Amino acid sequence: MKISELSRTTGVPVASIKYFRRQGLLPAGRATAATLAEYGDEHVQRVRLIKALTTLGGLSIAATRDVLAAVDGAEGPDGTLKAISYALPVPVAQAPVEDADQEAEAESAAAADVADLVAAMDWRVAAASPHVQGLRAALRELRRLDAGYQPDRLVAYAELAHAVAGLDLERAAGFDDSPALAEQAVIVLALSGPVLELLRRLAQEDRVRRRMELVGDGDDLL
């Protein structure tokens, strides 16, 4: 398949495909001549995956490269899962800020919140895990806004998150023996977040409408 066909079947412009090549997201086609290369189904799938990770998953090109590197460098199912889990970017810019004293207070309080939560859930996570860092940063900001979570409320969220992660892993593990294990795993791990977020929004909309008890409200339902 020529690059123009690859472009047509994926719906991605030729120039973008070349760009992905340059950025190392996509392997080169099999060169048949100095100015001609042959692409296969694996390229189609890879291009679609790149598109899904960037548009659905909201990953940057650099983050996508890291994730795909984890996919390609997979060593055993569990190692792959861990590599992908760590390659995925954390959705919080963790600026330490260090400003006044109250900031330091919020900082340590947030750290304590995270520690308590992890203990309460009996989670095994690395102290240096980017997810821990990110959660600390998030809780710190919420505290600064006087909108901190009470511990029991945080635990309630955590339990739901734990259940979701259970669904994800179960699904990812279902592909264990497939040749495309890593690829399916990255789809599950990276894209269930956005799907869950969408479902949360939908559920939120439902609950708000029911609260309003103005079910008709001028909008067509369903």
Partner DNA sequence: AGTGCTAGATAGTGGCAGTATCGAGTTGGG
Partner DNA sequence: CCCAACTCGATACTGCCACTATCTAGCACT
Range 36-55, binding a second copy (CB under 8 A): 45, 48-49, 51-52, 55
Does residue 108 bind a second copy (CB under 8 A)?
A: no
- Which of 71, 5, 74 is CA-nearest to residue 44? 5
Does residue 109 bind a second copy (CB under 8 A)?
A: no
Confirm if 49 and 42 have CB atoms less than 8 A apart.
no
Q: Give the nearest distance from C-beta 37 to DNA in angstroms.
A: 4
Residue 21 vs 48, nearer CB to a second copy: 48
Long-range contacts of 163-171 (CB under 8 A, 24+ apart): 164/192, 164/196, 167/192, 168/192, 169/81
Contacts with a second copy, 194-213, as mask; x by CB under 8 A? xxxxxxxxxxxxxxxxxxx-
In a 10 Å sphere around its CB, with 0-12 CB exposed, 13-18 middle and 19+ buried, how is residue 134 labelled?
A: middle
User: Of DNA, a second copy, none, which one does residue 164 interact with (CB within 5 to 8 Å by kind)?
Assistant: a second copy
Residue 11 vs 179, nearer CB to DNA: 11
Helix (H, G, I), strand (E, B) or coil at 32: strand
Q: Give the nearest distance from C-beta 35 to a second copy in angstroms.
A: 27
Q: Give the nearest distance from C-beta 37 to a second copy in angstroms.
A: 23
User: Of DNA, a second copy, none, which one does residue 201 interact with (CB within 5 to 8 Å by kind)?
Assistant: a second copy
Compute the distance between CA of residue 17 and CA of residue 204 in angstroms, rounded to an integer.
38
User: Of DNA, a second copy, none, which one does residue 69 interact with (CB within 5 to 8 Å by kind)?
Assistant: none
- Which of 47, 13, 53, 54 is CA-nearest to residue 29? 47
> What is the contact surface with DNA in residues (CB under 7 A)?
2-5, 13-16, 18-19, 21-22, 28-29, 31-37, 39, 54, 60-62
User: Of a second copy, DNA, none, which one does residue 44 interact with (CB within 5 to 8 Å by kind)?
Assistant: none
Cβ neighbours for 96, distance < 8 A, ≥ 6 positions apart: 107
**167, 82, 161, 94 alpha-carbon torsion, rounded to 10°:** -150
Subset of residues 120 to 179 that bind a second copy, contact rule: CB under 8 A: 121, 123-129, 131-132, 134-135, 137-139, 141-142, 144-145, 147, 149, 153, 156-158, 160-169, 171, 173
Residue 38 vs 129, nearer CB to a second copy: 129
- Which of 197, 216, 206, 214 is CA-nearest to residue 57? 197
